[in-house]
Amino acid sequence: MKKGLMALALVLVAGLLAYSMLFNKDRAPEVQYTSIAGQQLSTSSLKGKVVLVNFWATSCPGCVEEMPEIKKMYQQYAPRGFETVAVAMSYDPPNYVKTYVEKNQLPFFVALDPQGSIAKAFGEIQLAPTTMLIDKQGHIIKRYVGVMDFKEVRQLIEKQLQS
């Protein structure tokens, strides 16, 4: 009798874990983004779009390296429902961010995070670049720490835009 109960308990635990992995994907936190120009954007306002959230800094070599490719992806996919939000790390001076955005003509939403509250909400992000790809339902489907694998990111974006 005890073996039967133990087996049943193991099956139930395994079932709950499987259910959790399939249906409780990591949701993107509900945050408010504020751009350099003072515009507002929220996680909920992005629902229905595939979103790339990139934590970066002007002093970060990897961030600067990947920014031209992020810009190209945005230009390519934005007409199909893709959004990019570049979140400047709290230690990045706003005037440096503004100068970089203007010089490089970044066409997507660039947010400041002076208190680090957005980085904290996404899991205490401290390393830049750190990037999240979020599906149309607001689930984080991929996290990158360091420079992204752009071939993989493009494949994921394509797949998400088709769904």
For 20-45, how does the pLDDT look when each residue is reduced to its tens digit (9 = 90+)?
334 445 999 999 999 988 999 999 99
> Given this model, what pLDDT does residue 7 score?
47
Domains by residue range for the chain, with CATH: 26-162 (3.40.30.10)
User: In this structure, are residues 87 and 94 in contact, taking their beta carbons and an 8 Å threshold?
Assistant: no
The pTM score is: 0.84
Q: 16 is written with which tokens? A: 């709950």
User: In this structure, are residues 26 and 107 in contact, taking their beta carbons and an 8 Å threshold?
Assistant: no
> Given this model, what pLDDT does residue 2 score?
59
Handedness of CA 20, 153, 45, 96 (dihedral sign): positive
User: In this structure, are residues 133 and 156 in contact, taking their beta carbons and an 8 Å threshold?
Assistant: yes
Task: Give the residues of the chain that fall short of pLDDT 70.
Answer: 1-25
The Cα 162–Cα 158 span in angstroms is: 6
> Given this model, what pLDDT does residue 1 score?
54
The string of DSSP codes covering 66-105 is HHHHHHHHHHHHGGGTEEEEEEE-TTS-HHHHHHHHHHHT
Handedness of CA 29, 34, 35, 40 (dihedral sign): positive
The Cα 59–Cα 9 span in angstroms is: 53
Q: 10 is written with which tokens? A: 């193991």
How many residues belong to the chain?
163
